[in-house]
Amino acid sequence: MSHSRNSASSIAILAFMFFIFGFVSWVNSILIPYFKIACELTNFQSYLVAFAFYIAYFVMSVPAGILLKRIGFKPGIMYGFFALAVGALIFVPAAMTRTYGIFLTGLFSMGTGLAILQTAANPLVTIIGPIDRAAQRMSIMGVCNKFAGIVSPLIFAAIILKATDKELFAAIPYMGEAERAAALDELIRRVMVPYACLSVLLVAVGIFIRYSALPEIRPEDESEETVQAHAGKKYVIQFPYLVLGAVAIFFHVGTQVIAIDTIIGYAQSMGMDLITAKYFPSFTLTATIIGYVSGIILIPVFISQTNALRICTVIGLVFSCCILLVPGSMMFRGYEMGVSIWFVALLGLPNALIYAGIWPLAIRGLGRFTKIGSSIIIMGLSGNAFLPLIYGKLADTVGTRMAYSVLIPCFFYLVFYAIYGHKITSWKRKG
């Protein structure tokens, strides 16, 4: 009973952490179009928001794994929250000077904090209970993460945007240089107080987690069976299913962030204003939550986490093709919207269980390699940095709809990993 209570309290603490992760991450879906207006950016430049935020996963994940190995999970989590707080605080001088480069520095710092936090939190979720229920626990974390993703853009919009901004956005291109500069300065400085308050909150959360009941788990303590299975293995890259899983995470998170962070811009390309379009990321995230709840109910009682992964990757591929190929339009809040935008939103449904399915398959049985293996998988989260940039470049050249063609090869690879790639345990062909 005591172990069950400890496990439940640990899951609750981790769920709270994933809510914070989602809150600071998914606000990017409205920061991108907001910065595009306030800093006068192209599509490609605006998606540097996602690039600066998520490239930190690629650069800092291995150092994060080394840090966690030296100081442990809980102190590492505290430092991760401190790095998030520093990044949020950097928004204050960035807004004072309306310097996009400083904003990107703040976003990189926040990404560094999340790299540390995700490197610690994801393996904790995986190993804190039975491995065959890992996807179920990941789904619980996902619900918290994506619920935060629903509310954070709406809270940001409620604090930052005004009812009169629709007229302001329409008037900015026609203003004189001095008047436009003053209007844009006022617009961007609205982020100062919210992000300063967020910085203080993140410091408090870090201290709370450090001294919470969350256990300090040592996944490197291997069973005799695991030791024998790892005999002769000196490097983490000697686990093909781990490396291929990190690549799968790269493509998956890229498709996920494209479905959420580009949907406002896609709605705007159909003539919808930002004030109305701000709701579309919530539609994608609501579909994601429905997917997570389905996972909690169905896995592993009615379907295995591996079969759920296979089904979801195929559905994601089908929806991606529908974005490009399905014609027609419908009215939404007085705007004529292409049916294809709803397939972008529906991508949230299969995307929910892909992340939850990949993690337990990629990190299984790593033993003493767990922390560094986790950091390798977290490097895959840099897909959030690169794939939106590719989308942004394509949007500037071939249009916002055809730019979604970047999703097709991503889902083809995910289908490969779900069906075959996760089974590969050696780089050598068996002859």
CATH no. for residue 305?
1.20.1250.20
How much is the pLDDT for 229?
A: 52
**DSSP-assigned letter for residue 411:** H
Contact indicator for 165, 174 with CB cutoff of 8 Å? no
Banded pLDDT at 216 (limits 50, 70, 90): low
Higher pLDDT, 414 or 368: 414
Instruction: Please name which of 245, 265, 244 lies closest in space to residue 50, comparing C-alpha atoms.
Output: 265
Gap between the Cα atoms of 223 and 227, Å rounded:
6
Place of tokens 């930190």: 56
Contact indicator for 384, 53 with CB cutoff of 8 Å? yes
Gap between the Cα atoms of 228 and 224, Å rounded:
6
pLDDT over 60 at 220, yes or no: no
Higher pLDDT, 15 or 150: 15
State the alpha helices, DSSP H only, in 128-191: 134-160, 165-171, 177-188
The reply to whether 218 falls in a domain is no
Cα pseudo-dihedral 229, 230, 233, 234, rounded to 10: 180
What is the distance, to the nearest Å, from the Cα of residue 48 to the centroid of all Cα atoms in its chain? 15
Average pLDDT over residues 113-142: 79
Average pLDDT over residues 287-303: 85
How much is the pLDDT for 6?
A: 56
How much is the pLDDT for 406?
A: 95
For 61-101, the pLDDT digits (tens) are 888 878 887 888 888 889 999 999 999 999 899 888 888 88
CB atoms within 10 A of CB 198: 22
The reply to whether 429 falls in a domain is no
The reply to whether 347 falls in a domain is yes
* Residue 369 belongs to domain spanning: 2-213+236-423
CB atoms within 10 A of CB 357: 32
Q: Which of 16-20, 155-159, 414-418 has the lowest mean pLDDT?
A: 155-159
Distances (CA, A) of 397 to 186, 297, 327, 336: 32, 43, 21, 23
The reply to whether 135 falls in a domain is yes
Contact indicator for 132, 113 with CB cutoff of 8 Å? no
Surface-to-core class of residue 170, CB atoms within 10 Å of its CB (0-12 exposed, 13-18 middle, 19+ buried): exposed
Burial 279-302 (b: 16+ CB within 10 A, else e): bbbbbbbbbbbebbebbbebbbee
The reply to whether 223 falls in a domain is no
Q: Which residues contact 272 (CB under 8 A, 6 or more apart)?
A: 333, 335, 337
Total number of domains in the chain: 1
User: What residue type is assigned to position 189 of the chain?
Assistant: R
Gap between the Cα atoms of 356 and 308, Å rounded:
10
How much is the pLDDT for 233?
A: 62
pLDDT over 60 at 52, yes or no: yes
The reply to whether 407 falls in a domain is yes
| Strand (E) or helix (H) holding 336 | strand 335-338
The reply to whether 220 falls in a domain is no
How much is the pLDDT for 83?
A: 94
For residue 337, the cross-strand partners are 330
| Strand (E) or helix (H) holding 330 | strand 329-332
**DSSP-assigned letter for residue 331:** E
The reply to whether 325 falls in a domain is yes
